[in-house]
Amino acid sequence: MSDPKPAAPALPDRLAIDPDSPFHDAELLGRGIGIRFKGAEKTNVEEYCVSEGWIRVAAGTARDRNGKPLLLKLRGAVEPYLKDDDASGA
């Protein structure tokens, strides 16, 4: 009767790795988040939004006046997942 695997926590609609962002969640990022964008695995995502269908990635090594990377917004299908759940299921 007991479930052997607890239900995975729902991932937020929007998440950012920048600690100054209101969408930053250090605990969740520490668990490991993976992003599939248009069906391809992306490892350089700085921020994502599932409902609006976009990710932000760094534009090379360019920096703004505050020293943060310049970001490009790419639009398409975004699928976030927990990396630890993906590794245990494979």
pLDDT digits (tens, 9 = 90+) for 28-69: 999 899 999 999 999 999 999 999 999 999 999 999 999 999
Question: For residue 65, what pLDDT is reported?
Answer: 95
Angle of CA points 71, 61, 14, to nearest 5°? 25
Asked if residue 6 belongs to a domain, the reply is no
Asked if residue 7 belongs to a domain, the reply is no
What phi, psi does 89 have (nearest 5°)?
Answer: -85, -15
Structure tokens at 15: 């998440």
Asked if residue 44 belongs to a domain, the reply is yes
- Region 7-30: what's the mean pLDDT? 88
- Kindly report, residue by residue over 66-80, the tens digit of the pLDDT: 999 999 999 999 999
Question: For residue 19, what pLDDT is reported?
Answer: 93
9 or 50, which is more confident:
50
Residue 74 lies in domain: 14-89
Give CA–CA dist 78/74, Å, rounded: 10
The pLDDT-based confidence of 83 (bands split at 50, 70, 90) is confident
Asked if residue 3 belongs to a domain, the reply is no
Asked if residue 34 belongs to a domain, the reply is yes
Asked if residue 1 belongs to a domain, the reply is no
The residue type at 16: A
Asked if residue 53 belongs to a domain, the reply is yes
| Tally of CB atoms within 10 A around 35 | 19
Structural domains of the chain, count: 1
